[in-house]
Structure 1
């Protein structure tokens, strides 16, 4: 970098603390000698100058007051006056680590304790602005940088990657985004859309996508918990033994503690983007695997140990998420904390922002269980894709699925998770073999893919079970359309052909349990029932639901 000419010909600013003698200047110029200047280092030093005038009672050292302070020239006795320039404002910014403590005139011990700063954050243009001036003064005065870590932000562009400009009409004001999506959504997008140093595209639509993909997923998971916890009057202060927890609970708690560990390490390394994306992934797994696979545990009428374990596990996940999210999305985190924690424990910290950040319990981490569950999730995803390609709804049971894995370890892991795959893919049997054909291998020496093949032959028994599931789906939808509460018991009425009547008889227990139907009655519905006609596999069926009074 070139020399920094930090004087400025302006009226306002930190006065350049240099005095000169006009008489000596004239003589030196005539004799072609260098001009002499005196740099005054403090008010006390200035007061000690010979013939000092204008300093008594002076409380404001800015212009024009400081310009009236004069003293006698030590060379010729003539009047010394301050030069008219002020200091570049970037010098003031660069002096911030020292000036904030009035160092070195005061607070020497406090300064040494706080210097250098842990962290600084600004946009990339400050590499030649504030970052530079901080470095220049700190190296000059202390021979070391004044901050240990820096996050240097890239610039924000419009949705097409163009620089925002009023003349182009592509400026997105913060107010319109805040009004439409909220502060937490804006913060989360800026944290997670790209690493800090990269430029990032920005629009209201991109922020709204954050709401749909992350914040609503989190909120729906929280809402699901609150709904059923209120129905069952769950008390989070009730202890549940960690011994003998269901495998699904142990898996999500393992994932939770790994998340806490990784997020903490990412934030310690000043990587909020990586930390945020890990939280995002966890919320997706919590909602789309743990909660979805645990729904029946919350729905069932028995308030047994399994249901208590599910409540306690999900509660722990949500409270921990609230604390993890507090630096990222302070408002949603506070809302979760106040309802989940403060509503049941008035002695708890008044705010989530006054709690300790979570600490990982690595004793709960089960890496083998995590790997096996991840494999089951992969197989389930592949199986659902195969169903979609074959135009087979997940509600239609199938006889079996053949999975070809890459190693004995994967075979053992998938056999361990077989019950979950059976339910996810709605199949009766999982056959796991080793031997995926591959033309390439991974770094671990394994073929790069897993193969999933569905048996798509559907006999009458499977078809009837699929119809039963379809009827349950239609009845559940009608419950919502009728405005019934999720805990309301109903009476169900049906009219249809032989297949409908057969399925209603053979799967009566299943249909009643899934729909909270006290009765399944063939025939016309009574007055006041909510009725709809349906076409299922080409057959006409009339279904009706009526809430049971009392």
Structure 2
């Protein structure tokens, strides 16, 4: 996160020096997404401490404080009053508008790690979109996801984050796209039409049939014509769009194994039960550290397989005991404080 913040300081400084206000605002917006939807959300256990006991990780707090104080200084020109309020609440000091502009020298540099994290976040978003399109809820675990393409094996150190984020058991990384997708040529008709006239149709047909070749200067030879780099786009076309999608970088694809086995369905049902019990805890206004006894009335077809996940359910909801009773197709839970 500190390296990502350094990147934010560098990019916004460069944009503002060039009077590129939309560019700087875009960098700030993208950073907020990374900070809020990834670091803060994924670090909640570090902030809350074990079982929400309040003894959080001092390093997590220190990192977040450092990032927020720098971020408020970066965003102050765009949101002057809000950033001033936030900065004052963090530091109990002078106005944010009286502080110096942040320097990249205040933060560590690791552009490789930033790039890998950006790619893993995009892979997660792509996989979740494939899940949604397939009608598979996030709490239902899947067997695997494959990231194939340029630099994919370098994601190994952050692969566990992807597995947790999209709820899969295995992450496969390979630089071989193979049969997952093919690179297709997209001629720009708006540019080529005036230049080639009726021949532009021949170019479109040849592109569709794959009858073209790259030249050394990144131009393309097709249908007796040469296309310059600004006259075409390249796109990865998934072989199976229902399970495969390309990243925005257009050099890698995500392939989601959407086959659901009875074992995965049972594990997903156990996770649904955890969500039901947690909601019941909230409705009962229990403290986050309270231990409970749970009575579950539930009779789905796979109840025996679901019971195999009882230790995981108990650990997740802080239950000392779970009693299983006959019930309906949907779980009905009763809690008592232990």
Q: Do the structures match in fold with TM over 0.5?
A: yes
The change in CA–CA distance for 1:358 and 1:484 in structure 2 (over 3 A counts) is farther
1:222-243 Cα shifts (integer Å, max 9, x gaps): xxxxxxxxxxxxxxxxxxxxxx
Larger radius of gyration: 1
SS in 2 for 1:399: strand
1:377-431 Cα shifts (integer Å, max 9, x gaps): 22212211111121111111111123321x3xx1222333321221122111122
SS in 2 for 1:439: strand
SS in 2 for 1:545: strand
CA distance in 2, matches of 1:467, 1:359: 50
- Segments of 5+ residues of structure 1 without an aligned counterpart are 1-251, 343-348, 525-532
1:278-305 Cα shifts (integer Å, max 9, x gaps): 1111001111122232233334417899
Q: What is the aligned partner in structure 2 of residue 513 from structure 1?
A: 315
1:333 is matched with which residue: 72, 76, 83?
Answer: 83
CA distance in 2, matches of 1:386, 1:481: 33
SS in 1 for 2:57: helix
1:142-176 Cα shifts (integer Å, max 9, x gaps): xxxxxxxxxxxxxxxxxxxxxxxxxxxxxxxxxxx
Question: What is the Cα deviation at residue 504 of structure 1?
Answer: 6.3
Question: What is the Cα deviation at residue 445 of structure 1?
Answer: 9.2
Tell whether 2:95 aligns with 1:351.
Answer: yes
1:468 is matched with which residue: 270, 290, 293?
Answer: 270
CA distance in 1, matches of 2:158, 2:147: 13
Question: What is the Cα deviation at residue 513 of structure 1?
Answer: 3.1
Q: What is the aligned partner in structure 2 of residue 216 from structure 1?
A: none
1:369 is matched with which residue: 106, 110, 113?
Answer: 113
The change in CA–CA distance for 1:473 and 1:503 in structure 2 (over 3 A counts) is farther
Q: What is the aligned partner in structure 2 of residue 396 from structure 1?
A: 140
1:426 is matched with which residue: 155, 167, 186?
Answer: 167
Q: Is the 8 A contact 2:298 2:330 kept in 1?
A: yes
Tell whether 2:328 aligns with 1:544.
Answer: no
Instruction: Specify which structure has the higher proportion of strand.
Output: 2
1:379 is matched with which residue: 104, 123, 133?
Answer: 123
Give the RMSD, CA atoms, in angstroms. Answer: 3.3
1:75-111 Cα shifts (integer Å, max 9, x gaps): xxxxxxxxxxxxxxxxxxxxxxxxxxxxxxxxxxxxx
Instruction: Specify which structure has the higher proportion of helix.
Output: 2
Q: Is the 8 A contact 1:500 1:541 kept in 2?
A: no
The change in CA–CA distance for 1:513 and 1:321 in structure 2 (over 3 A counts) is farther
Q: What is the aligned partner in structure 1 of residue 208 from structure 2?
A: none
CA distance in 1, matches of 2:67, 2:304: 44
Q: Is the 8 A contact 1:467 1:503 kept in 2?
A: no
CA distance in 2, matches of 1:290, 1:545: 32
CA distance in 2, matches of 1:507, 1:279: 42
CA distance in 2, matches of 1:488, 1:332: 37
CA distance in 1, matches of 2:18, 2:295: 62
1:157-211 Cα shifts (integer Å, max 9, x gaps): xxxxxxxxxxxxxxxxxxxxxxxxxxxxxxxxxxxxxxxxxxxxxxxxxxxxxxx
Q: What is the aligned partner in structure 1 of residue 211 from structure 2?
A: none
CA distance in 1, matches of 2:182, 2:252: 9
Question: What is the Cα deviation at residue 488 of structure 1?
Answer: 4.6
The change in CA–CA distance for 1:545 and 1:312 in structure 2 (over 3 A counts) is farther
Question: What is the Cα deviation at residue 267 of structure 1?
Answer: 2.5
SS in 2 for 1:493: strand
1:450 is matched with which residue: 231, 239, 252?
Answer: 252
CA distance in 1, matches of 2:22, 2:44: 32
CA distance in 2, matches of 1:508, 1:299: 24
Q: What is the aligned partner in structure 1 of residue 43 from structure 2?
A: 294
CA distance in 2, matches of 1:508, 1:547: 18
The change in CA–CA distance for 1:540 and 1:286 in structure 2 (over 3 A counts) is same
Question: What is the Cα deviation at residue 446 of structure 1?
Answer: 9.3
Q: What is the aligned partner in structure 2 of residue 273 from structure 1?
A: 22
Structure 1 length normalisation: TM-score?
A: 0.45
Structure 2 length normalisation: TM-score?
A: 0.70
Question: What is the Cα deviation at residue 464 of structure 1?
Answer: 1.9
Q: What is the aligned partner in structure 2 of residue 253 from structure 1?
A: 2
1:424-447 Cα shifts (integer Å, max 9, x gaps): 221111223312421249979996
Q: Is the 8 A contact 1:258 1:362 kept in 2?
A: no
- Segments of 5+ residues of structure 2 without an aligned counterpart are 186-213, 219-228, 237-249
Count of paired positions: 276
CA distance in 1, matches of 2:110, 2:161: 18
CA distance in 2, matches of 1:466, 1:296: 22
CA distance in 2, matches of 1:509, 1:403: 32
CA distance in 1, matches of 2:83, 2:320: 40
The change in CA–CA distance for 1:506 and 1:297 in structure 2 (over 3 A counts) is farther
